[in-house]
Structure 1
């Protein structure tokens, strides 16, 4: 089950200034996934590593969007503003791949360029 556009968590003022982008939430398989959705055009999917979050890409997002791209920068579940499952067995590469695949499919993205950092 997916639910698009749940309300993202409020950010303190200093952080809002650092992340002035369109923020969205989606519930996938019971987990709330926070992501940036900025710009229009071909999709660039920016994946952070561990233990960072989409904040890592804050200086890059606006530049890429300015050049005519749509940037999707999610927080992996367990990190950033996404849900934080307590079960250590949840946090596997396979689980993250499955959830990110469902995010991409739900957004209707058929083609994209992936920018990754660390294991992103």
Structure 2
């Protein structure tokens, strides 16, 4: 499997976890020291805090999720991806940075989300 295929698998696992409301599975797609930045809130740092953020999203009732990967660029052990995310009809543009660990596993290192207006 190519790096591109592994990254697509990561993003598909994340989307499935979103759709099933599984915050633990969502967080498992992120590196232990990952950072999540969205325009409407303070940055969230660390896998545990990202899990808690997803708990909050699911608690307030966000249920319908879809991801559209627009591009993936890989350079060695690092990659970035541009994506469009829809949740309950609200759209956001997302830039993800992923890193490949020494074990060959790709995880999301950083995510920046900007809501569409």
TM-score, normalising length: structure 1: 0.30
Which structure has more relative contact order (CA 8 Å, sep 6+)? It is 1
Greater share of residues in strand: 2
TM-score normalised according to structure 2 size: 0.31
